[in-house]
Amino acid sequence: MRIVCLAGGIGGARFLRGLKAAAPDADITVIGNTGDDITLFGLRVCPDLDTVMYTLGGGINEDQGWGRAAETFTVKEELAAYGMEPQWFGLGDRDVATHIVRTQMLSAGYTLAEVTQALCARWQPGVRLIPMTNDRAETHVVVGEEHARRAIHFQEWWVRERASIPAQEFAVIGADVAQPAPGVLEAIAEADLVIFPPSNPVVSIGTILQVQGIREALNPKTVVGVSPIIGRAPVRGMADACLTAIGVETTAQAVLELYGTPLINGWLVAEEDKGVALDGVTVEAVPLLMSTPDTTRALAEATLSLALRA
């Protein structure tokens, strides 16, 4: 079975671990969000691609959901000793090696897709990980009151400000011209099933859907999504701050409507959200918490089962 998943960071990566367990023989292509990418100290950092690669490759810092396990921060400390900014973004020594390889290959003219393939040759994530685009498509967040609007990088908003200042708008710089990376549209066209794991619907899945042609390529496909919201709160992360910023309620119903039909055919919600409904969508209530490998696998199995009926 050929499966395509649109994935952001932690929630998507965790779900993918369960999907691999539930469908060990499936051919899984992950289209990774690159809107979070940032250049720091001259190094290109791709948080969502690295979270998928490290999580499926066995190198992730499990508690954080990002960065490497058994990490040290000597480089970070030395940069701080020189007074280098920013100091609010924690680059670990092991993680820096990934960014050096990526930056060196990009400077040599390789595309981000080629670089990602090269990094995955070491990590063997067991899926084909393709960035949504090789072009620049970086999420910036517009903040500030009416007459004092300014845009900051997504990581400044997410990490430095902890999403504590209201976002007036998310702008994916470059999305208007960014083309899908080679293989993205082909993987979608050949897919038996497309899954939206419980990634952030605004700044992860929503960003991928802004890349030219991706939403159109998905419309005719069977797409099953997993709600990232249980009750009125995100399972993890700050999807609520993102949804509020775009005027969408933090509920499983509102996120389903945000994706809408004909994009979504099946929607998995938590037991307490079983009233969720939308014409043309098969909705099913299942346990959504990915607290153990078994519950994560069970969620993936429920997703595959729903896909057969959606």
Span interacting with ligand FO1, options 18-26, 155-163, 212-220, 225-233, rule CB under 6 A? 155-163
Does 12 help bind ligand FO1 (rule: CB under 6 A)?
A: no
SS3 content of the chain, % helix, strand, coil (to 5): 40, 20, 40
95 binds ligand FO1 (CB under 6 A): yes
**Which residue in the shown chain puts its C-beta closest to ligand FO1?**
9
Of 309, 303, 259, 310, the C-alpha closest to 16 is 303
**Near ligand FO1 by CB under 6 A: residue from 58, 84, 90, 274:** 90
Rg of the chain in Å (alpha carbons):
19
Q: How many CB atoms lie within 10 A of CB 215?
A: 13
Told to check if 138 binds ligand FO1 by CB under 6 A, we report: no
Minimum CB distance to ligand FO1, residue 137 (Å):
14
- Please check whether residue 52 is in contact with residue 32, taking contact to mean a CB–CB distance below 8 angstroms: yes
Stretch that binds ligand FO1, among 41-49, 55-63, 243-251, 278-286 (CB under 6 A): 41-49
Range list of β-strands (E), 149-211: 150-153, 167-173, 193-196
Q: Are 231 and 270 in contact (CB under 8 A)?
A: yes
Told to check if 158 binds ligand FO1 by CB under 6 A, we report yes
With CB under 6 A, what is the number of residues at the site for ligand FO1? 17
Tokens read off for 95: 């993680």
**What is the closest distance, in whole angstroms, from the C-beta atom of residue 99 to ligand FO1 in the complex?**
8
Q: Is 197 in the site for ligand FO1 (CB under 6 A)?
A: no
* 71 exposure class (CB count in 10 Å sphere: 0-12, 13-18, 19+): middle
In the complex, least distance from residue 8 CB atom to ligand FO1, rounded to whole angstroms: 6
Q: Which of residues 47-86 bind ligand FO1 (CB under 6 A)?
A: 47-48, 50-51, 66-67
**For the CA atoms of 30, 160, 234, 262, what is the dihedral angle to 10 degrees?**
-50
Cα separation, 216 vs 235, in Å, equals: 29
Considering the rule CB under 6 A, would residue 198 count as an interface residue with ligand FO1?
Answer: no
Minimum gap (Å) between residue 161 Cβ and ligand FO1: 11
Q: Does 8 bind ligand FO1 (CB under 6 A)?
A: yes
Q: Does 45 bind ligand FO1 (CB under 6 A)?
A: yes
Give contact residues for ligand FO1 (rule: CB under 6 A): 8-9, 36, 45, 47-48, 50-51, 66-67, 89-91, 95, 155, 158-159
